[in-house]
């Protein structure tokens, strides 16, 4: 039987950074990461990195990687950058994600990395930005994110 690390009682009471480090140590991607083939690879306070390899599973009808693949990696990285700064009693959700696409990806692109940093965080709102690059550092997409911070229901 597979244990879903997102339901473990052991995560209760941990702040955002502790939660993300526990998930990283567990070596399991979130369910969306399993579906699209990406994982959290690094996390520090105010910073998160996701990595994946785009392939035919994410193609659109035009024969290139769907823009939603880049948006999902960037949303995940920006969200976790904000999550890393939250207290144990806080949660967040994305209010707005603006993605700029700089070049198309295909299955030949190889591994990509979505790195995001927290720009600022207040009692109710956080702001983050991220970049999606390949192994050579070429920019494929960039994003800015506005996130709602709220009290977690216990």
State how many domains the chain has.
1
We report the CATH number of the domain holding residue 77 as: 3.10.129.10
**Residues 91-148: pLDDT tens digits?**
999 999 999 999 999 999 999 999 999 999 999 999 999 999 999 999 999 999 999 9
Contact 26, 5 (CB under 8 A): yes
Q: Which two tokens stand for residue 12?
A: 């209760």
Q: Which phi and psi (to 5°) does residue 103 adopt?
A: -160, 155
Q: Which two tokens stand for residue 33?
A: 């990461």
What is the model's pTM? 0.92
pLDDT band at 83 (very low <50, low <70, confident <90, very high): very high
Q: What percent of the chain has pLDDT over 70?
A: 93
Contact 95, 147 (CB under 8 A): yes
Contact 132, 142 (CB under 8 A): yes
Q: Tell me, what's the pLDDT at 6?
A: 55
| Domain housing 127 | 5-151
């Amino acid at each position: 039987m597979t244990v879903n690390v997102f339901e473990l009682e052991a995560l209760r009471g941990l702040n955002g950074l502790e939660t993300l480090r526990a998930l990283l140590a567990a070596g399991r991607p979130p369910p969306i990461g399993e579906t699209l083939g990406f994982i959290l690879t690094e996390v520090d306070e105010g910073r998160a990195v996701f990595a994946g390899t785009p392939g035919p599973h994410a193609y659109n009808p035009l024969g290139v990687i769907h823009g939603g693949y880049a948006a999902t990696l960037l949303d995940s990285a920006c969200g976790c950058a904000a999550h890393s700064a939250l207290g144990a009693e806080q949660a967040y959700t994305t209010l707005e994600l603006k993605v700029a696409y700089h070049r198309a990806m295909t299955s030949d692109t190889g591994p990509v990395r979505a790195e995001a940093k927290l720009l600022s965080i207040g009692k109710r709102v956080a702001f983050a930005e991220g970049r999606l690059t390949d192994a050579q550092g070429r920019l494929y997409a960039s994003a800015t994110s506005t996130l709602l911070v709220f009290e977690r229901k216990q």
